[in-house]
Amino acid sequence: MPVALTKNSIDLGIVTTNAEPMLKFYRDTLGFKYLREMKVSASATMHQLACGESVIKIMVVAKELPKAPPGHIQAAMGYRYWTISVSNIPELLQSCEAAGYKIAVKETELRPGVRIAIVEDPDGNLVEFLTVG
């Protein structure tokens, strides 16, 4: 049986010990709307931000946990990146670069009419920007 969706988007969880730099990137640089802070447990707090209809959940934990291997999309198995469809890649890259974030992949045409760029957040997670058309 296929999934019976009740929402036309997904929620994405990012676990970190790096609260302020991560919030600065997603809230201040990318401009995601801050929704709320929720205490999840004695040692974890979740910050929720809106990205269109999706919710980005920044889960801040009190202790260091094992990290996924850093690097290129094809550097390891598992979740490596996520994609946001946008119409303003050049402006986003300019904002990210001005704020000191690493541009992992400069704006590139994958095929006619499809352009991407990839930026690393403060924890090294890859965020892909996609423009079609």
Instruction: Parse the chain into domains and list their residue ranges.
Output: 1-65, 74-133
Residue 69 has a pLDDT of 79
Tell me how crowded residue 73 is: count the other CB atoms within 10 A of its CB. 12
pLDDT at position 84:
96
Q: Which long-range contacts (CB under 8 A, 24 or more apart) does 89-96 make?
A: 89/115, 89/116, 89/117, 89/129, 89/131, 92/30, 92/117, 92/119, 92/129, 93/117, 93/119, 93/129, 95/29, 95/30, 96/29
* Confidence band, pLDDT 50/70/90 cuts, at residue 74: confident
**CATH architecture of the domain covering 74-133:** Roll (3.10)
The hierarchical CATH code for the domain 1-65 is 3.10.180.10
Mean pLDDT over 108-113 rounds to 96
The answer to which of 25-29, 73-77, 97-101, 106-110 has the lowest mean pLDDT is: 73-77
Mean pLDDT of 7-17: 94
Evaluate whether 1-65 and 74-133 have a shared fold. yes
Mean pLDDT of the chain: 94
